[in-house]
Amino acid sequence: MADGAERQRTRALTDFEIVSGHDRFAVQVREATGGLEVSIDGRVHRVELLRWVEPTHFALAIDGASRPVEIVRAGDELRVRLGYEQYRLQVTPRISIPRRGTAGRSSSADVRIVAPMPGLIVAVQAGPGSRVEQGAVVVIMEAMKMQMEIRAPRSGHISVILVKPGEEVAKGQILATLKTQ
């Protein structure tokens, strides 16, 4: 019964696919009382990530055991150092929307549109499913008292918008994904 009550106190955040070398992992992240509940290929862990030295050093507690971790974004990948171990990870949101007649075909690719710096989302100009041309404004954000337009790097259809006006975002946070042809 306590397990069911604990599950009721969790709130879904998002699902990811993480690639490290040749390994792929399905990861689900849920907000839970006192931290996060992270499921990696079905194995559930209680996780808490505490800022230590901004912006890259943290204390990572997994199932109660804490260790220092360094997380650095390098282009499209995250470089994570746990003690003497270092990992290069590709992290993408898992958004599967099955469509009729497209099984087995992969003529398009997902492009992540990310925040270039920390800031506040002012407006979202495109919605899921909308067609955008290269250079079209997708999101407007404010950083350092200046507004900037975050534009589509390629033409395509917006798969998902992951932010809303009034939301604060971190540098490198995924704002939207774009399906290109």
Q: Per residue in 145-161, pLDDT tens?
A: 888 898 888 888 998 89
Strand partners for 143: 146
- The pLDDT of residue 97: 40
Q: How confident is the model at residue 100 (pLDDT cuts 50, 70, 90)?
A: very low
Mean pLDDT of 72-99: 75
DSSP-H helix ranges across the chain: 2-8
Long-range contacts of 15-20 (CB under 8 A, 24+ apart): 15/93, 15/94, 16/91, 16/92, 16/93, 16/94, 17/91, 17/92, 17/94, 18/89, 18/90, 18/91, 19/89, 19/90, 20/87, 20/88, 20/89, 20/90
Judged by average pLDDT, the poorest of 41-50, 87-96, 136-145, 163-172 is 87-96
9-13, 32-36, 90-94, 116-120: the lowest-pLDDT one: 9-13
Q: Is the pLDDT of residue 93 over 80?
A: no
Mean pLDDT on 133-146 = 88
- Tokens found for residue 82: 């746990």
pLDDT band at 12; cut points 50, 70, 90? low
Q: What is the pTM of this model?
A: 0.44
Domains, the chain: 9-93 (3.30.700.30), 109-180 (2.40.50.100)
Nearest to 134 by CA among 107, 111, 116: 111
Rounded Cα gap, residues 53 and 76, in angstroms: 23
Q: What are phi and psi of 147, to 5 degrees?
A: -90, 140
